[in-house]
């Protein structure tokens, strides 16, 4: 493991220094600490690591305070679980410091009761064997692997295995996690763990809050293999459990999640994913699913607008650019782009890249200077000028002035 920890292509040297600093300071406080979770899994797979999760046998908040005193930075403590986030000085890096704990689930799907404990107990509270490997930090044993649940063997076999038979009953969000790892690493869930995705576990999943389920779906949409992963969610019978009207996620949409940044629209992979997913639903079903998944108003609006626009396309075919523009102007750009991706209707792209920016040279101030009183006619005249530009009636400023004078004389 030492070799992996010292490989700069997997772990940048600043992160390694941070880990040594934590380890040294923990030793002075007679606390043992360990790197755990995703970073250990990814290091063993030879993948670069992101987040650092450090388990402390002792008081993680006390260690965090000492780290800030010694090295600077900022600490955000969470007293309920005795954890803390240490934000490093002059950096965007942070470390999760977690007091080793034991968890007892008294009710399926509810949050567990937690008591401080040892690293072994902490590994046993985790989701899968591949996520339950620890690496000792500090002292003579720096870099030593603790693998009581045989996670390394499962990493080698490419399998995801729950730690005990009631794992998905305790926390059905682990079902989504298993599927996510399966897609990301091309692993497979072992049959005994697949068997745990049974009607009893799905019933607990059904009782989860919209927020918890949406969070898991968000994380799947973030994945490179999101579409394939969603297919697996569907094939395991999970969509119906979330909401009876949840459609399947089409494989063709995978490429659409990678936004074309040249269009000058703020990219948002998750919003794009939900729009594609729910665009063909009725208005009623869009609202019902948005409520179930606890969407923000903004996300609901984006999905609703995409569905609405897709339905209205038949009425817009052959319309003039000005008609397209006025029909599209109130809709979120990303919704329009999503509908373009699935329909390839060129007018939508023209609106996004050209038409929405078309404005006449004449302004309200110009009209005032020409003696016109502000009122509804202001808007009408400016709209007529804009439509003329959009529909190719005008091609230069002189022509616009001529049309303006014509409009003013007819409007007077």
Q: Which residue, chain included where needed, has tokens 């780290």?
A: 67
DSSP alpha helices (H): ranges in 29-118?
Answer: 38-44, 60-71
Site for ligand ATP in 52-91 (CB under 6 A): 53
Rule CB under 6 A: say whether 400 interacts with ligand ATP: no
Rule CB under 6 A: say whether 112 interacts with ligand ATP: no
Rule CB under 6 A: say whether 362 interacts with ligand ATP: no
Choice between 32 and 173, CB closer to ligand ATP: 173
Choice between 53 and 182, CB closer to ligand ATP: 53
- Residue in 18, 32, 82, 173 binding ligand ATP, rule: CB under 6 A: 173
Beta-sheet pairing, 188-189 with 159-160: parallel
Choice between 51 and 260, CB closer to ligand ATP: 51
Rule CB under 6 A: say whether 38 interacts with ligand ATP: yes
Site for ligand ATP in 117-136 (CB under 6 A): 126-127, 131
Assigned token pair, 288 = 């019902």
Q: Which residue, chain included where needed, has tokens 């490179």?
A: 224
Choice between 131 and 193, CB closer to ligand ATP: 131
Output helix, strand, coil percentages for the chain, rounded to the nearest 5. 55, 10, 35
Torsion from C-alpha of 220, 225, 231, 235, nearest 10 degrees: -80
Rule CB under 6 A: say whether 174 interacts with ligand ATP: yes
Choice between 123 and 257, CB closer to ligand ATP: 123
Region of 25-33, 167-175, 258-266, 400-408 interacting with ligand ATP (CB under 6 A):
167-175
Rule CB under 6 A: say whether 260 interacts with ligand ATP: no
Region of 11-19, 166-174, 197-205, 400-408 interacting with ligand ATP (CB under 6 A):
166-174
User: Please, what is the angle between helix 321-328 and helix 297-316, to 10°?
Assistant: 160
- Residue in 57, 147, 154, 171 binding ligand ATP, rule: CB under 6 A: 171
What is the full DSSP assignment across 332-394? -HHHHHHHHHHH--HHHHHHHHTGGG---S--HHHHHHTTPPSSHHHHHHHHHHHHHHHTTS-
What stretch of H or E contains 199? helix 199-206
Rule CB under 6 A: say whether 223 interacts with ligand ATP: no
Torsion from C-alpha of 152, 156, 162, 163, nearest 10 degrees: -20
The binding site for ligand ATP (CB under 6 A) comprises 37-38, 51, 53, 126-127, 131, 171, 173-174
């Amino acid at each position: 493991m030492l070799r992996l920890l010292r490989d700069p292509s997997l772990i940048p040297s600043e992160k390694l220094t941070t880990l040594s600093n934590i380890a040294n300071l923990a030793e002075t406080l007679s606390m043992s600490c360990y790197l755990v979770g995703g970073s250990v899994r990814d290091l063993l797979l030879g993948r670069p690591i992101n987040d650092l999760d450090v388990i402390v046998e002792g008081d993680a908040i006390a260690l965090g305070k000492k780290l800030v005193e010694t090295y600077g930075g900022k600490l955000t403590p969470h007293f309920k679980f005795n954890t803390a986030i240490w934000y490093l000085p002059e950096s965007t890096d942070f470390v999760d410091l977690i007091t080793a704990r034991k968890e007892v689930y008294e009710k399926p799907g509810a949050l567990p009761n937690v008591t401080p404990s040892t690293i072994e107990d902490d590994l046993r509270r985790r989701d899968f064997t591949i996520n339950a490997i620890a690496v000792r930090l500090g002292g003579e044993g720096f870099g030593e692997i603790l693998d009581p649940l045989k996670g390394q063997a499962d990493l080698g076999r490419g399998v995801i295995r729950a730690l005990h038979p009631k794992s998905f009953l305790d926390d059905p969000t682990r079902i989504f996690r298993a599927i996510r790892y399966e897609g990301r690493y091309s692993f497979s869930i072992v049959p005994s763990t697949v068997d745990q995705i049974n009607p009893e576990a799905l019933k607990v999943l059904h009782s989860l809050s919209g927020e918890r389920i949406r969070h898991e779906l968000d994380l799947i949409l973030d994945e490179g293999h999101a579409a394939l992963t969603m297919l697996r969610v569907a094939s395991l019978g999970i969509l119906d459990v979330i909401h009876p009207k949840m459609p399947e996620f089409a494989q063709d949409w995978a490429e659409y999640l990678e936004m074309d940044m040249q269009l000058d629209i703020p990219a948002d992979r998750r919003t794009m994913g939900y729009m594609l997913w729910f665009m063909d639903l009725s208005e009623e079903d869009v609202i019902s699913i948005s409520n179930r998944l606890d969407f923000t108003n903004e996300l609901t609006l984006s999905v609703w607008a995409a569905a609405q626009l897709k339905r209205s396309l038949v009425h817009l075919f052959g319309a003039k650019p000005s008609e397209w523009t006025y029909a599209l102007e109130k809709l979120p750009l990303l919704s329009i782009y999503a509908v373009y991706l699935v329909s390839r209707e060129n007018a939508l792209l023209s609106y996004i890249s050209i038409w929405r920016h078309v404005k006449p040279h004449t302004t309200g101030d110009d009209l005032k200077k020409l003696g016109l009183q502000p009122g509804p006619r202001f808007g009408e005249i400016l709209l007529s000028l804009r439509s003329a530009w959009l529909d190719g009636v005008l091609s230069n400023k002189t022509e616009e002035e001529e049309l303006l004078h014509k409009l003013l004389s007819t409007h007077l």
